[in-house]
Amino acid sequence: MSKQIQIDFLPVDSGEKSGDAIALRYGDFSDRSLYQVVVIDGGTKDSGNRLVEHIQKFYDTNHVDIVICTHPDSDHASGLRQVMNQCSVGELWIHKPWEHSEHIRDLFHDGRITDSSLSEKLQNAYTYAYELVQLAEDKNIDVREPFAGRESEDNVVMILGPSTDYYRELLPDFARSPKAKTILEKAFSSYDKAINWIQEAFDIETLSEDGETSAENRSSAVVMLRFAGKKYLFSGDAGIDSLQRVLDFAEEEFIDISFVDFFQIPHHGSKRNISPSILDSIKCTTAFVSASKDSPKHPAKKVTNALLRRGATVLKTGGKILGHHQNAPRSGWVTATTVPFYNQVEE
């Protein structure tokens, strides 16, 4: 049987904002019964529609075996409604924060919040995720939460993080959870300072170890594919702490991710989501990043430089579909332009 894989990153451009919409298939493409189709995040409604069209045109099917929502942010979850509505789906892998309320109620320090009221607030806060679950249940589609250790039936697709315990630790800090922000916090969160540029060289790295990202981002499901002797790692919007926990889990389970053939740069290449130590621990041949063509900061140049120093080829969507394949080229598609090394990077 032929061993083929195709991975496609569709552009998600909403002004300066980026998103993720990823489709892939693996197996023997000569017959639909011999390959699996997986969708990881769906971006916006428009990119969700393009995902459906892409799967129908290039994968020659209208069935998706597994739909994975890495986390409930709208730039990842919204477009999956189009996939769920227009395709037949085998399984939906998605976190359901409203079902964890009994485990986290006391962490909110709000005596007025009951399990039921907290559950309702989280459902309302994460409308897209809740709607996806309702769609799946209406269609009798299996819904499974993507916690560390979950695997597909063929053992090709595996979740490396987060663990259930870590996810529950993060829930009280979700920005849209029932926890008020102070005026000062709101002011800082909306403050967009001007970009300052600093010098870098191939032997000088300015990417730091102390980047911080939101609890929602840190809750992202990190997905690994192991197929035909190769490893493919999809990180959603995971942060430094969550990726370190992925490394710890992999070591505990005797899974070697010190080198992967393909790596999705987390959170559209943000400098707050990756560090030199993580990149030293997870080296790769090829790195893809979903980034809007109009984004001034995604991907961060100090992040792409760090990957280039470690021998990776880096590519970004920037308004175009990115495709990666093994034994399955497409006629008429051209080689993508790689991201160069930059001598000036954002501070």
Model pLDDT for residues 286-295, shown as the tens digit of each residue: 999 988 777 7
- The single residue listed with the structure tokens 């451009």 is 13
**Comparing C-alpha atoms, which of 257, 226, 259 is closest to residue 326?**
226
pLDDT tens for residues 102-118? Answer: 777 777 766 677 888 87
pLDDT tens for residues 134-145? Answer: 999 999 999 999
| CA–CA gap between residue 24 and residue 11 (Å, rounded) | 15
Question: What is the predicted pLDDT for the residue at 156?
Answer: 98
The least confident of 62-76, 254-268, 300-314 is 62-76
pLDDT tens for residues 265-294? Answer: 999 999 999 999 999 999 999 999 988 777
Pick 177 or 126 by higher pLDDT: 126
Kindly give, in sequence order, each residue whose CB lies less than 8 Å from that of residue 118, ignoring residues fewer than 6 positions away.
98, 101, 104, 105, 108, 178
Quickly list DSSP for 152-189: -TTS-EEEEE--HHHHHHHGGG-TTSS-PPPHHHHHHH
Question: What is the predicted pLDDT for the residue at 205?
Answer: 94
Q: How confident is the model at residue 190 (pLDDT cuts 50, 70, 90)?
A: very low
| CA–CA gap between residue 307 and residue 313 (Å, rounded) | 8
Is pLDDT above 60 for 252?
A: yes
Residue range 64-77: average pLDDT? 90
Is pLDDT above 80 for 187?
A: no
Residue range 218-244: average pLDDT? 97
Question: What is the predicted pLDDT for the residue at 185?
Answer: 44
Is pLDDT above 90 for 334?
A: no
> Residue 86: enclosing H or E segment and its boundaries?
helix 80-86
The CATH superfamily holding the domain 4-326 is Ribonuclease Z/Hydroxyacylglutathione hydrolase-like (3.60.15.10)
Domain ranges of the chain: 4-326
**Comparing C-alpha atoms, which of 164, 178, 175, 185 is closest to residue 216?**
175
